[in-house]
Amino acid sequence: MSAVIYPGSFDPITRGHIDIICRAANLFDKVIVCVLNNSTKKSSLFSLDNRVNMVKNALADEASGDIFNFDINKIEVASDDGLLIDFAKKNDVNIIIRGLREVTDFTIELQMAQANNTMAPEIETLFMPTNPKLSYLSSSMVKEFASYGKSVSAFVSPSVEEEIIKKYSQNYSK
Ligand code: PNS
């Protein structure tokens, strides 16, 4: 059975992430979405548990919606507070997939893929170009708009927007 890990901090998961998960699920028998911490980013808005729940709920939203077409049964959601390569080894999966939005992503992603491959040569990273319609989208941008009270319903799944509303409830307008 072919399996791939799609790792990220998902703070929070956006429709850009869902697009990659959906396309990966069309290529592999199993996609393990792994929620991790990114030590290069300042502290997360949402806790690890909260991010995992948002990923699960967003996938459930989109599986029954009409934007994406994927088999939710092929997707597992996990989390880890350690290294990605150790998670991959524990789960006996040696392919990682990462989405590339634009050139600045490439520089960082190449470095991460090469570092991981040096530490664990059996683990390969594959890059998937994002859907051009979603290439501007990032979790940081979603948080920025939401923090100023703007609706982010175009960028995230309904259940994720609900969580964001709870965080920024004081000045949020739908
Ligand atoms: O969504 P992000 O923030 O771009 O994802 C980055 C992430 C979480 C995949 C990366 O920071 C990561 O792998 N974190 C786990 C710790 C780790 O393995 N660090 C070494 C990376 S070279």
Is 90 exceeded by the pLDDT of residue 69? yes
Mutate which of 83, 109, 130 for ligand 1? The one with the most ligand atoms within 8 Å of its CB, which is: 83
Alpha helix segments (H runs only) across the chain: 15-25, 48-63, 84-90, 103-119, 139-147, 158-167
Q: Which atom of ligand 1 lies nearest, measured to the CA of 38?
A: 11
114 C-beta closer than 6 A to ligand 1: no
Structure confidence by residue, pLDDT tens digits, 133-151: 999 999 999 999 999 999 9
Mutate which of 6, 13, 36, 126 for ligand 1? The one with the most ligand atoms within 8 Å of its CB, which is: 36
Q: Which residues are catalytic?
A: 17, 41, 101, 139
Kindly report the CA angle at 11 between 6 and 13, in degrees rounded to 5?
Answer: 55
Q: Which atom of ligand 1 lies nearest, measured to the CA of 36?
A: 8
Start-to-end CA span in the chain (Å): 43
Claim: this prediction has a pTM higher than 0.85:
yes
pLDDT of residue 42: 82
Structure confidence by residue, pLDDT tens digits, 93-131: 999 999 999 998 999 999 999 999 999 999 999 999 999
pLDDT of residue 94: 98
